[in-house]
Structure 1
Amino acid sequence: MSRKKDSRQKPRGKRPQQILVFGESENDTKSLKELILALRGDLADKVQPRRDPLVLIKNAKPEDVPERAKKIADAVDISRATHDIVCVFAHEDCDALEPKHEEACRKIEEAMQQAGCPAHAVVPAWELEAWWFMWPDAVQAIRPKSWRAPDDYLGKEVGRLKDAKEELKKRVVPKDLKPDKRKTFQTYQESDSPAIAQKVREKGLARKPAAKSSSYTRFVASVDECKVK
């Protein structure tokens, strides 16, 4: 299904290139932007995270999927008026263990294809927080004086971690922290994700994960597929 050309579009070749990132939240899209740039420095100034519309496709009823995909496609069309859209990424957490992310990816990508807007699905299993266990040093680096490096899963399959967000909250707490300090301890919050991703980029760790994740491997392959001039 092809989408109609917007009459406002500038001639192709004269427009700047752009990569759009949609997701479940602003924290997620900002984090994914940092990871994309960590993987592909040549995409600097091209990656744009978008707050709206949210990607809510994986658990949608069949009758609701086309309209949700269309909202994203319409937003992409607006950008196509002034930019050459190189790639579109659509993120939703899996909320299930690997390899369930593959099923969710297929649903999202098929829906976007039907909407006339091919996209790369980004579906971390269990949640985006599972990926942070691949870079414990980057996690600790955002609060080096208080957090421990969550290095509990080095070399293991982090896509098999249930409730990864809650697990990360526990694992950054120093093991020797006194009980009376635990109530006031500032542990991980979702708003920390972009800073962690930035540390991954700054430290050059994006292609050097210390643990395993099939959903992350899929994401890396999707980023590598983006072709820019």
Structure 2
Amino acid sequence: MSRKNDSRQTAKGKRPQQVLVFGESENDTKSLKELIVALRGNLAGKVQTRREPLVLIKNARPEDVPERAKRIADAVDIGRATHDIVCVFAHEDCDDFEPKHEGACRKIEEAMNQAGCPAHAVVPAWELEAWWFMWPAAVQAVRPKSWRAPDDYVGKDVGRIKDAKEQLQKRVVPKDNKPDKRKNFQTYQESDSPAIAQKVREMGLARKPAAKSGSYTRFVASVEQCEVE
């Protein structure tokens, strides 16, 4: 799955296997790590996140795409010096409605293939926060004493939520939130994402979404393709 997909082994035997996750931010990559392990328990201990380089391909000018993909491929090659990299995930938010994520996924995956480093694109619509609406109980479990379960989209298509982050911030506010409680109320922040993903894993909800998302369905299929021993 790379420019250097060889069968080198260490003196002690086979190199340990590893899954690499690149993304727009550390919060995103940590969240995806939790979801990957939630979907595939046999990948626990094998998934590693990378803060650099950022995945900035979907809106890049054609002339800039090869170099940006190469930076990721080079980082993967560094990992191959000590590990058998069995799967690579590259995340960028769609910032648009589904199914626009499909075009962004194709652009990212084609760029990575051209760089000699096949990867699975992960492109949530509108943002990763759209996915959290699929698990309202997991969201509420992060701050059970103050947040309401954002169940506004149960049974619906979360790929149609514009500005999902801002919507989530609004939806976790209790409907009966009294003025005296608002002063100390702490709404959703991006840094809460990994904790929500962790709750999804701990509560066994990764394969039980309460809403629909084409981008999440694609992500699940990508995780299934990771071959590990």
What's the TM-score bracket when you normalise by the shorter of the two chains? Answer: over 0.9
Find the counterpart in structure 1 of residue 120 from structure 2: 120
Distance 1:89 1:2 in 2: 13
- Following TM superposition, by how much is the alpha carbon of 1:14 offset from its aligned partner in structure 2, in angstroms? 1.2
- Note if contact 1:27-1:194 (Cα within 8 Å) is conserved in structure 2: yes
After superposition, the CA RMSD in angstroms is 1.7
CA distance in 2, matches of 1:224, 1:4: 23
State the AA in 2 paired with 1:167: Q
Counterpart in the other structure of 1:146: 146
The Cα of 1:179 is off from its aligned counterpart by 3.3
Tell me if the contact between 2:157 and 2:213 (Cα under 8 Å) persists in the aligned partners.
yes
Listed as ranges, the gaps of 5+ residues in structure 1 are none
Q: Are the equivalent residues in 1 in contact too, given 2:56–2:68 (CA < 8 A)?
A: yes
Secondary structure of the structure 1 residue equivalent to 2:145: coil
Specify the alignment match of 1:111 in structure 2: 111
In the alignment, which residue of structure 2 is the partner of 1:186? 186
User: How far off is 1:185 after superposition?
Assistant: 1.7
Write out per-residue CA displacement over residues 83-140 of structure 1, whole angstroms, 9 at most, x where no aligned residue: 1110000000000000000000000000000000000000000000000000000000
Shift of 1:183: 4.8
- Range moving further from structure 2, 66-75 or 12-21: 12-21
For this pair of structures, how many residues does the alignment match? 227
Distance 2:135 2:72 in 1: 31
Q: d(CA) in 1 for partners of 2:228 and 2:45?
A: 12
Q: Secondary structure at the match of 1:95?
A: coil
Is the CA contact 2:2–2:118 (under 8 Å) kept in the aligned structure 1?
no
Change in Cα spacing, 1:146 to 1:4, as seen in structure 2 (3 Å) is closer
Structure 2 gaps of 5+ residues are: none
- Contact 1:10–1:82, Cα closer than 8 Å, also in 2: no
Q: Which residue is equivalent to 1:59?
A: 59
Tell me how far apart the structure 1 counterparts of residues 144 and 46 of structure 2 sit (CA, whole Å): 31
Deviation at 1:11, TM superposition (A): 5.6
CA 63–91 in structure 1, closer or farther in 2 if over 3 Å, else same: same
Give distance in 2, aligned partners of 1:136 and 1:183: 24
| Cα distance, 1:178 vs structure 2 | 1.6
* 1:133 lines up with 2:146 in the alignment: no
Q: How many angstroms apart in 1 are the aligned matches of 2:183 and 2:162?
A: 24
